[in-house]
Amino acid sequence: MPEICTVKHERVIYYSDPVNDDFAGTNIDTKEIDPDFRYIRNSVLWRVISFLVYYAVAIPVVWLVSKLWLGLRFENRIAVRKLKGRGFFLYGNHTQRLDAFIPSLAAFPRRAYIVAGPDVVSIPGIKNLVMMLGALPIPSSPSVLRRFIGSIGTRISERSCVAVFPEAHIWPFYTGIRPFPDTSFRYPVLTGAPCVAMVTTYRRRRGLFSFFGRPGMTVTFSEIIDPDPGLPPRKAQAELCRQVFEFMDDTSHGRNQICYYRYVRIQPEDPDL
């Protein structure tokens, strides 16, 4: 899980667990998803407000922030456009808080929904806003899990994009790919929907924007990956995970990336760190 570093690091972050450590810095008091939690609302008022919030406010603001502040570029977005008329899944690495909006820009003009932890709807006062923007919070209760998976199937049947960040935790500006389980790859197998992997890498910014000192984001998309109907579900799930991880890892190692933050693993012999 090495990083590819080409310039002086501005910050060093120490970690011990590449799977469970989180550096988002949000410190949210996470609440469990209630049994009566509503994943999909079909009232006319909700749908109208959701449409306006998503397309008239969120998309323009996120586009400006992503282009100017993060220097976002897409590569091989044609893979996503080839899926016109089909619902699909996007799987990506998790290196920014704004990662959740990348699928919205990539899938535009289609809606994108984001599988996320329950913390996204745990902040008082913004639960409805987050849901309007496309959050699909993961529950812990088996009874609610059934409805959660059903809501994913509904969004796929609506020909929308459902995005998943299998690394789960945010590591800002991390240039490697962390290990992740194949758990979230059951969704494409259950729905029979295709996948596209995406990986964020970091490059040196040029010209006026080099003044910010922050690297620019490049998001590269894989070709379409379909679940193998000839495999048993569990093996098909594992195979999808392998293909997505392999694309992410090969892409991240194949780029001349800039390490804005450097991540150093704490070894057992370093008890003072």
For 180-200, what is each residue's pLDDT tens digit?
A: 999 999 999 999 999 999 999
Q: How far is CA 239 from each of CA 132, 228, 234, 247, rounded to the nearest angstrom?
A: 33, 8, 9, 12
Run of H or E residues at 262: strand 261-265
pLDDT of residue 268: 62
Length of the chain: 273
Find out whether 111 and 36 touch, Cβ atoms under 8 Å.
no
Structural domains in the chain?
11-265 (3.40.1130)
Type of residue numbered 88: F
Strand 195-203 and strand 112-116: the pairing is: unpaired
Cα Rg, the chain, nearest whole Å: 19
User: What is the tens place of the pLDDT at every residue in 78-130?
Assistant: 999 999 889 999 999 999 888 888 999 999 999 999 998 887 777 777 888 98
Q: How confident is the model at residue 7 (pLDDT cuts 50, 70, 90)?
A: low
* CA–CA distance, 185 with 181 (Å, rounded to integer): 9
Percent of the chain with pLDDT over 90: 57
* Mean pLDDT for the stretch of residues 125-140: 88
- How many secondary structure helices (H) and strands (E) does the chain include? 8, 9
Q: How far is CA 160 from each of CA 56, 90, 178, 229, 269, rounded to the nearest angstrom?
A: 18, 11, 27, 22, 49
DSSP-assigned letter for residue 55: I
pLDDT > 90? residue 25: no
pLDDT of residue 97: 83
